[in-house]
Structure 1
Amino acid sequence: MKGLLTFLTLQSLTTAYVNFEDWLPPTTDDLRSPCPALNALANHGLLPRDGRMLTVPLLVETLGVALNFSAETATVRALDGIKTTSDPASGAFTLGDLNKHGIIEHDGSLSRKDNYLAGEAQVFCPSIFAETLSFFKGATNVGFEEIAAARWGRIQASKAANPQFAYNTTAQRSSYSESAAYFQVLKDPSTNKASVEWIKIFFSEERLPYKEGWRPTNPIDGKSFLTDVLQIAMHTPERAPGVSNATSWASHSDV
């Protein structure tokens, strides 16, 4: 117990010294990905601003300190990122590597055009994101019902527009995980709802809404992640995805 308390105290102190107000948009030479969360961490300088040389230890530390990910969940996510690397010998990957289609990036994104339609997964698409927001029906705070409706709505819209639309098991997991991840990062634990204003900032600016009151208060681990995936699935009119391995879900998110 003493060791746990010491760890939590150190984690709290470390988080307190993270300067979330230090934010800069990327330059033309900086690499970015289909993942708003990782892009935001780079924009805040918590990951390399140029989006290069991302290692497993760096990801584990940053996701833990900045977003309250457990070491296990952060490690799984980082290892999935390594799978996309263009330079395996380096032991690192770049944010640009994550744009490869069908690994983490997937069709039916909440904020990007499909690979077949655009081929630029790193580029935020205002019209796609506006469609996502339309499923919130003007709410200022959203819960599982709205999060699920937006996810499923984008899947259906992508399926209708993209003749090469892919929704296999990997893509399905990525889709559910994407929604569960941003909801876990942004939701208020007292209400289990997320501010739509914060969601807009997170996706469109790729910035953590610290100035607006957000704090990394939600512990994100395999159990909590799986719980939210299941809640989203329960509000979705399709067969629930296989969820036997909770931790592995965290590696299929492009958020």
Structure 2
Amino acid sequence: MPRPLSSILGQKGSCLSQPFELVVPLLLLHCHSHTTTMSSSESLAVGVYKRDDTTVSRSPCPVVNALANHGYINRDGRKIYVRELNASMRRVGMSPLLGSVFAVPTYFEYHNPDTANKKDPVPTWQRVLSLIKNPYSYFDYFGCWNPEKMDDKGKKYVDLVDLASHGAIEHDVSMSRRDIGQKQGNNDPQPDLIEDLLKHSTDGEYLTIEEFGVFIKDRLKQQLEDNPDLVYGAHQHQLNCGNITLMMGCFGDGKKIPVKYVKAIFEDERLPIEEGWKRRFWWPMGLIEFFGSVRKVAKATAMEF
């Protein structure tokens, strides 16, 4: 079963929990093996924005979709290899290590969380051995890979739609998609939700962490009426906090983000370059900053479950 982020972060006021401290050095040894140059396009230069929602594969994540729309990964969203997805994370200002933590675990096999509790628990010694062999297995519950997606050279790939695999990265009560149990599905952007998010800015110029928190609470209240069977607990809320943290850290100043940036990302699925955004280059968002910020966001948007 997915572990709550609190087990990764440790207790309030402490450093990162010991298991995570042991994983970080192993990740540092592995992250360089997953880097490469950006993908290219025969028709458009890499970085040029073009959106096509009719024939392409897209995910529930507007930032990942923006990377495809800009050509930093395959524009059609199909046959994305781990090296390409990992390298693209730097285009939004993540460090190579943080980017690898988001990209690499995606290529673990997807296991439906609804049936995970029916499987025998993995022995501790086997888990430790797996971590030594591949430290990214610490985050294997984010796996979205389908075993059928292997090329003729034996390399794994994913289509962006695979990121909609319920219970891995995708979850109920997201900011711009409806739930898997609703007729709209969990993958297509919902204009009314995006409009509502933008309206939660009190000054019309910026969205703060607290305003994102109010929006999520309002979303949950409405979703409980629209989809009584939804699943939203501490784990799902921490994933939402992670999304807010990335928005604030990569596109904002850590506390607030311009509404025009949010509008570009969520409505157009476009990096807000035209609006003045510049990615963090000399000091990208790193692993320690991210998890520390998630803790602060979780506190600012506290919910009881």
What do the CA deviations read for 1:15-55 (whole angstroms, capped 9, x no partner)? Answer: xxxx7861001252210000001100000011100111222
Cα pair 2:247 2:257 within 8 Å, conserved:
no
Aligned residue number for residue 68 of structure 1: 93
Match of 2:277 among 195, 203, 214: 214
1:147 paired residue number: 212
Give the equivalent residue in structure 2 for 1:84.
144
Cα-to-partner distance string for 1:161-187 (whole Å, 9 max, x where unaligned): 211110144423322212222222210
From 54, 59, 64, the counterpart of 1:38? 64
For the residue of structure 1 that corresponds to 2:100, the secondary structure is helix
Could you tell me which of 258, 265, 270 is aligned with 1:202? 265
Provide the C-alpha distance between the structure 2 equivalents of 1:29 and 1:88, rounded to a whole number of angstroms: 19
Residue equivalent to 1:102: 167
Farther-moved stretch of structure 1 (217-226 vs 67-76): 217-226
Q: Which amino acid aligns with 2:166?
A: H
In structure 2, what is the Cα distance between the partners aligned to 1:32 and 1:144?
Answer: 27
Q: TM-score, normalised by structure 2?
A: 0.66
Gaps of 5+ in 2: 1-37, 39-44, 108-142
Residues 152-208 of structure 1: per-residue CA shift (max 9 Å, x gap): 33233223321111014442332221222222221036xx42100110111010001
What is the deviation of 1:119? Answer: 5.0
- The answer on whether the counterparts of 1:21 and 1:210 sit within 8 Å (CA) in structure 2 is no
TM-aligned CA deviation for residue 139 of structure 1: 3.0
CA distance in 2, matches of 1:118, 1:133: 24
Moved over 4 A (4+): none
Distance 1:184 1:43 in 2: 22
| 2: CA distance, partners of 1:146 / 1:225 | 19
Deviation at 1:60, TM superposition (A): 1.9
| Structure with more contact order per residue of length (Cα contacts < 8 Å, sep ≥ 6) | 1
TM-score scaled by length of structure 1: 0.78
CA deviation vs aligned residue, 1:93-149 (integer Å, no higher than 9, x gap): 110101111111111111111111135333110111222223223431122222222
Preserved contact between residue 78 and residue 158 of structure 2 (Cα < 8 Å): yes
Q: Answer yes or no: is the 8 Å Cα contact 2:209–2:301 preserved in 1.
A: no
CA RMSD of aligned residues (A): 2.3
Instruction: Tell me the distance in 2 between the aligned counterparts of 1:151 and 1:195.
Output: 18
Alpha-carbon distance in 2 for matches of 1:70, 1:21:
19
Contact 1:33–1:121, Cα closer than 8 Å, also in 2 = no
Secondary structure, aligned partner of 1:150: helix
Verify the 8 A CA contact 1:133 1:150 in the aligned structure 2: no
8 Å Cα contact 1:113-1:121 kept in structure 2: yes
Secondary structure in 2 aligned to 1:97? helix
Q: Percentage identity across aligned positions?
A: 27
How do 1:1-255 residues align onto structure 2 when only pairs under 5 Å count?
22-64=48-90, 66-82=91-107, 83-86=143-146, 87-89=148-150, 90-188=155-253, 192-217=255-280, 219-239=284-304
The AA in structure 2 aligned to 1:57 is: R
Measure how far apart 1:239 and its partner are.
4.9
**Matched residue of 1:142: which SS?**
strand
Structure 1, unpaired ranges of 5+: 1-13, 241-255
